[in-house]
Amino acid sequence: MVMKVEEIIEIISQFDIDGILLDICCKNNGNINKTYLATYKMSDGEVKKFIFQKINTTVFKEPYKLMKNIENITAWIEKKTKFNDDHKHPCLKVIPTKNKKSLAVVLDENGEKQYYRAYNCIENSVSYDVPKDKKVVYNTGKAFGYFQRMLIDYPITNLEETIADFHNTPKRYSNFLKDVELDVCDRAYDVADEVVFVLKNSSYSSIITNLINNGRIPIRVTHNDTKVNNVMMDEQTGDYLTVIDLDTVMLGSSLYDYGDGIRSAASNAKEDETDLDKVFLNLELFEQYTEGYLSEMALYLQEDEVCHMGEAIAVITFELGIRFLNDYINGDTYFKTNYDKHNLIRARNQFKLLSDIKSKLAYMDEYILNSYKQKVKIRQ
Ligand SMILES: Nc1ncnc2c1ncn2[C@@H]1O[C@H](COP(=O)(O)OP(=O)(O)OP(=O)(O)O)[C@@H](O)[C@H]1O
Ligand SMILES: [Mg+2]
């Protein structure tokens, strides 16, 4: 549904912003939330920008729970940033409504509630859908490492689960098996090769969850969407400024965040590239991300986390591959598709990537360990 300008102006007037609206435009690059950028002349004369987002309630069923997490996390990071006297990393702040709520609520034409939130805009920043060079990849790893480090002592009981079983890979695997059995769209037979691939690689499903369940790795505050475009970088210097898109911040393992960061930043091709020869893990970009991440987190990681970082890249790639294939088998009900078999193409892409990752695992494990040892030694 296209929102009229007057309607969005009406909604954003609910927020506690002491200024006059000069301009508003829609930023369309978000997949999940609809994002608007607005410019205000504040009462003290300063010109300031703000971000407004309509929450996607199909994905996030409990918007207030989600906002509670974001308010707590952003307040925690802001407190630490001030304490460290850090002026390099502007903080993301939730702007409340005039009646001190985290969300503005409006009814759509069907009488359904729509939820909007406001943030300060990270000024003079840019986000990249595709990293333009290796520095962007290094800074993405560093930004997510910094984010994890800022939250290392966050009281974990103070965090809600916004999407249940988000990285429960064994559960995703068992759901996949059930759906292949049910085969509601009569598609499973045609993807027998892909199903066999999943069965052959099923041991990847429980690697990280077993480590968690056996108490070998800690539960940490994790971002759960560690994509390159969720880091705002300085337009001029290219340094990372702020991690955004905190909707999926929950409790989990550092391994999923690291693995997914590498999967998205260091894959040579788009997720729906059809030429599988172009799909592989770029080792130079893997090294850049790892260097950035470990430069922040090396001192804080436990041995079992470090030893499983390479495998984590395979686990998350396996997980996403089965999610795409599962959605194809179920008739494309979850991921937005642009053409027939789009999800199947995406699944094949992840499976090719997984095969490539497996062939490079020994190299990556050695690289991670050396880089880790070097950083720990330098810091000690
Ligand atoms: N506080 C902010 N300051 C500056 N730009 C922002 C801010 N928040 C979001 N943006 C811009 O809007 C884009 C979309 O925001 P966000 O990632 O929160 O939405 P999303 O729909 O969840 O995105 P996606 O699903 O693609 O990750 C970002 O990539 C960034 O360019
Ligand atoms: Mg995003």
Measure the N-to-C terminal CA separation of the chain; round to a whole number of Å.
Answer: 56
Kindly report the CATH number that applies to the domain delimited by 5-123: 3.30.200.20
Q: Which atom of ligand 1 is nearest to the CA of 119?
A: 1
Taking Cα atoms as reference points, which of 298, 305, 307 lies closest to residue 376? 298
Each residue of 258-315: pLDDT tens digit? 999 999 999 999 999 999 999 999 999 999 999 999 999 999 999 999 999 999 999 9
29 Cβ closer than 6 Å to some ligand 1 atom: yes
Select the more confidently predicted residue: 314 or 378: 314
Q: Where are the domains of the chain?
A: 5-123, 134-379
51 Cβ closer than 6 Å to some ligand 1 atom: yes
Of all ligands present, the nearest one to the C-alpha of 33 is: 1
Candidate of 229, 260, 335, 336 to mutate for ligand 1, largest count of ligand atoms within 8 Å of Cβ: 229
Pair of tokens at residue 100: 């001190």
pLDDT at 31: 59
Each residue of 214-246: pLDDT tens digit? 999 999 999 999 999 999 999 999 999 999 999
Each residue of 304-354: pLDDT tens digit? 999 999 999 999 999 999 999 999 999 999 888 999 999 999 999 999 999
Taking Cα atoms as reference points, which of 365, 251, 252, 356 lies closest to residue 308? 365
- Residues with Cβ within 8 Å of residue 40, at least 6 apart in sequence: 17, 19, 20, 21, 22, 47, 48, 49, 50
Q: Are 244 and 92 in contact (CB under 8 A)?
A: yes
Each residue of 168-192: pLDDT tens digit? 999 999 999 999 999 999 999 999 9
Indicate whether 77 pLDDT > 80.
yes
Kindly tell me the burial class for residue 131, based on how many C-beta atoms sit within 10 Å of its own C-beta (0-12, 13-18, 19 or more). buried
Each residue of 123-166: pLDDT tens digit? 999 999 999 899 999 999 999 999 999 999 999 888 999 888 99
The partner residues of 101 in beta bridges, in order of sequence, read none
Confidence at 380, pLDDT banded by 50, 70, 90: low
Distance, CA of 119 to CA of 206 (rounded, Å) = 38
Kindly tell me the burial class for residue 26, based on how many C-beta atoms sit within 10 Å of its own C-beta (0-12, 13-18, 19 or more). middle
Q: CATH classification of 134-379, choosing from 3.80.30.20, 3.90.1200.10, 3.30.2130.30, 2.30.31.70?
A: 3.90.1200.10
Q: How far is CA 169 from CA 9, 23, 116, 241, 315, in A?
A: 42, 44, 31, 32, 8
244 Cβ closer than 6 Å to some ligand 1 atom: yes
Candidate of 29, 58, 122, 124 to mutate for ligand 1, largest count of ligand atoms within 8 Å of Cβ: 29
pLDDT at 272: 94
- Residues with Cβ within 8 Å of residue 110, at least 6 apart in sequence: none
High-pLDDT (> 90) share of the chain, %:
88
By residue count, the chain amounts to 380
Mean pLDDT computed over every residue of the chain? 95
Indicate whether 1 pLDDT > 70.
no
- Number of C-beta neighbours around residue 252 at 10 A: 21
Q: Are 122 and 222 in contact (CB under 8 A)?
A: no
pLDDT at 33: 74
32 Cβ closer than 6 Å to some ligand 1 atom: yes
pLDDT at 156: 86
Candidate of 39, 66, 230 to mutate for ligand 1, largest count of ligand atoms within 8 Å of Cβ: 230
pTM of the predicted structure, to 2 decimals? 0.94
pLDDT at 202: 98
Query: Among the residues of the chain, which ranges form H helices?
Result: 5-12, 63-83, 134-150, 169-182, 192-200, 207-213, 254-266, 283-297, 303-307, 309-330, 342-379
